[in-house]
Amino acid sequence: MNKLPVTVALAALALLTGCTPLASIRPLVEDGEAASVDPAYLGLWKDCKEADATDIYEVEKSGEVAYGYHNLKSGDEAGEMRLIVLSGNLFADIRPNGGVVPGHILAKLRLDGDRLYLSFLQEDEVRKALPHELVGSGDKKQVVLSATTAQLRQYLQKAPAAAFAEEAVLCRVK
């Protein structure tokens, strides 16, 4: 297999995702497999830890199985998200807008009333278990997962708690 196109795609993905430490070049879920949009996830959300948080994210229905999101303050940080249940846990395949190669940011989700908990994959644990490439150098180095969709799902179904970062908590804006 010619590795040059893969390397170019990985480099483009690293540029696309910017400060995101871990992304995948393959999706976790496609439209035909995604959970239907749940109205409980729609609305306005902000970081619970920041009392004066000015970044507010709007999550809207963007199809039968897709959610659209964007930052109301900046207009940036927009994209789509699809959800899938694996072994009783809910996971998000977050696809930021822009870039040459679509990137997939993977997170475990749970909703508790007006609080949405997101836990992103940890680079150190995932690098031990899944195929990946390192793109960039120095402070700009990024891990990009090259695992297949099946490999991603298999890993997430059995992933240890250490595979996920501390939960980020978003609060619904009323």
CA atoms of 89 and 84, how far apart (whole Å)? 8
Residues 44-99 have pLDDT tens digits of 999 988 777 788 999 999 999 999 999 998 877 899 999 999 999 999 999 999 86
pTM above 0.85, yes or no: no
- The answer to whether 53 and 47 are in contact (CB under 8 A) is yes
CA atoms of 81 and 168, how far apart (whole Å)? 17
CA atoms of 152 and 144, how far apart (whole Å)? 12
161 vs 2 pLDDT, higher one: 161
Chain centroid to CA 50: how far? Answer: 22
Longest CA–CA span in the chain (Å) reads: 53
Residues 11-24 have pLDDT tens digits of 333 333 334 558 89
Lowest-confidence segment of 37-41, 98-102, 120-124 by average pLDDT: 98-102
Q: How far apart are the first and last CA of the chain?
A: 53
